[in-house]
Amino acid sequence: MTGQAAYNPYTAEGFNPKAGSYNFTGLGGIEQLRLRDEQGRVRDEYVPTLPQMIESIFDSGMNVVLQLDFKDETAIEPAYWALKHLTNRAGVPANEWCIYKLQSVWYQTPEVFEALPWVQDAFRSGIKLAFIPVYDPEYVGVFDQMASAKLFSQTNYTISLEVELRNVGGPIQDILDYTRDESSPIRTAGTLYASLTMLVCEVFDTAKYSLPADLHVNNSLYTYVENEAPMLLDAQVGNSSSDGHDYRSDFNWIIEQGYQWIITDTADEWHSRLERQGLRNVSRLIADGRTVVDGRLAKTWYKRSVWWSPFA
């Protein structure tokens, strides 16, 4: 429609406007899209609003949790108000089973978080929020993340911590260690599995940027980078690692660190792969969906949920 070349994720060239620069509905809106995903699959996509997603869950009668992984701080409060009067089929408020996963740098202490108007409204309304703060080596030097993690761990709305450790002994190792401590109120942590999502497909002209036959190089992995050509994780890690390597592309390494949950792109693809490898052991977490198998997960938030679904 614009007469410009389509965006090429291998060369970072072509038309790549920000979604925020468009209306959601109407002519030229983004409500109806024709997309090619990371696996080369092309499909027509209807982009639902968050309330429409909740209404679909209600209509289907599904018992699930949604992890709202916010990348834009300004989107958080509107999401809360949009969900306030919505429930699942069992009548549980959507704001109790939609998990607010927020960057820790936005709200560094419970006092700051709890002073937010929408959080105050949740408290007054008796809504039991489910919150996960995200701790990342990028915030080292910005604020005391260990102190923040300890403070949030004392609250009744923090259900877990996301700890984006890049290497053993690297920045924020102390936060992951804290979740292993018997005295810690929070005994679970999650991280990103930087899995293989790239495929060299013929629909893109990669002449200006060639990829190796094996996207794993020196135990690192090529990934898409916004508005740049693909880069190895190690080339992106900077000071976030103490040995120059980002180990999050190694699934076994993540398991060895003791993480209880993992998020990943193309979750449907990795669910199938890990299941075939015998690594998709959801039975350890949820058993029949009603009884907690691992006592470390038996917090108030779990007990009041009818069902619990792992995040990835």
* Residue 56, domain member (yes or no): yes
For residue 152, which of 185, 119, 192, 103 has the smallest C-alpha distance?
Answer: 185
In this predicted structure, which of 34-38, 141-145, 189-193, 275-279 has the lowest mean pLDDT?
34-38
Residue 275: pLDDT over 90? no
Total domains, the chain? 1
Q: In terms of C-beta density within 10 A (0-12 exposed, 13-18 middle, 19 or more buried), how is residue 9 classed?
A: buried
For residue 132, what are the domain limits?
A: 50-194+246-303
Q: Which residues contact 19 (CB under 8 A, 6 or more apart)?
A: 30
CATH number at residue 153: 3.20.20
- The span from the first CA to the last CA of the chain, in angstroms, equals 36
* Residue 142, domain member (yes or no): yes
Torsion of CA 260, 266, 272, 278, to 10 degrees: -30
Question: The pTM is what?
Answer: 0.83
For the segment 254-269, the average pLDDT, to the nearest whole number, is 84
* Residue 228, domain member (yes or no): no
Q: In terms of C-beta density within 10 A (0-12 exposed, 13-18 middle, 19 or more buried), how is residue 169 classed?
A: exposed
Q: Is the pLDDT higher at 303 or at 276?
A: 276
* Residue 204, domain member (yes or no): no
* Residue 78, domain member (yes or no): yes
Torsion of CA 102, 104, 105, 106, to 10 degrees: 40
Angle between helices 117-125 and 76-83 (to 10 degrees): 30
How confident is the prediction for the chain on average, in pLDDT?
A: 84
For the segment 171-185, the average pLDDT, to the nearest whole number, is 95
Q: Which residues contact 106 (CB under 8 A, 6 or more apart)?
A: 73
Residue 84: pLDDT over 70? yes
For residue 118, which of 103, 107, 108, 104 has the smallest C-alpha distance?
Answer: 107
Residue 184: pLDDT over 70? yes
Question: 199: pLDDT confidence band, cut at 50, 70 and 90?
Answer: low
Residue 297: pLDDT over 60? no
Share of the chain above pLDDT 70, in %: 81
Residue 77: pLDDT over 90? yes
Question: 300: pLDDT confidence band, cut at 50, 70 and 90?
Answer: very low
**Three-state SS sequence of the chain:** CCCCCECECCCCECECCCHHHCCCCCCCCCCEEEEECCCCCEEEEECCCHHHHHHHHHHHCCCCCEEEECCCHHHHHHHHHHHCCCECCCCCEHHHHEEEEEECCCCCCHHHHHCCHHHHHHHHHCCCCCEEEEECHHHCCCCCHHHHHHHHHCCCCECCEEECCCCCCCCCHHHHHHHHCCCCCCCCEEEECCCCCCCCCCCCCCCCCCCCCCCEECCEEEEEECCEEEEEHHHHCHHHCCCCCCHHHCHHHHHHCCCCEEECCCHHHHHHHHHHCCCCCCHHHHCCCCCCCCHHHCCHHHHCCCCCCCCC
For the segment 301-307, the average pLDDT, to the nearest whole number, is 41
Residue 312: pLDDT over 50? no
* Residue 126, domain member (yes or no): yes
* Residue 20, domain member (yes or no): no
Q: Is the pLDDT higher at 139 or at 300?
A: 139
Look at residue 273 in the predicted model and tell me its pLDDT: 76
Report yes or no: 225 and 236 within 8 Å, Cβ to Cβ.
Answer: yes
**Residues 7-55: tens digit of each pLDDT:** 777 777 888 888 778 787 776 777 787 776 656 677 788 788 999 999 9
Look at residue 194 in the predicted model and tell me its pLDDT: 85
* Residue 55, domain member (yes or no): yes
Question: For residue 64, what are its two tokens?
Answer: 């699930």
In this predicted structure, which of 31-35, 78-82, 86-90, 121-125 has the lowest mean pLDDT?
31-35
Residue 163: pLDDT over 90? yes
Output the CA torsion sign for 53, 70, 292, 94. Answer: negative
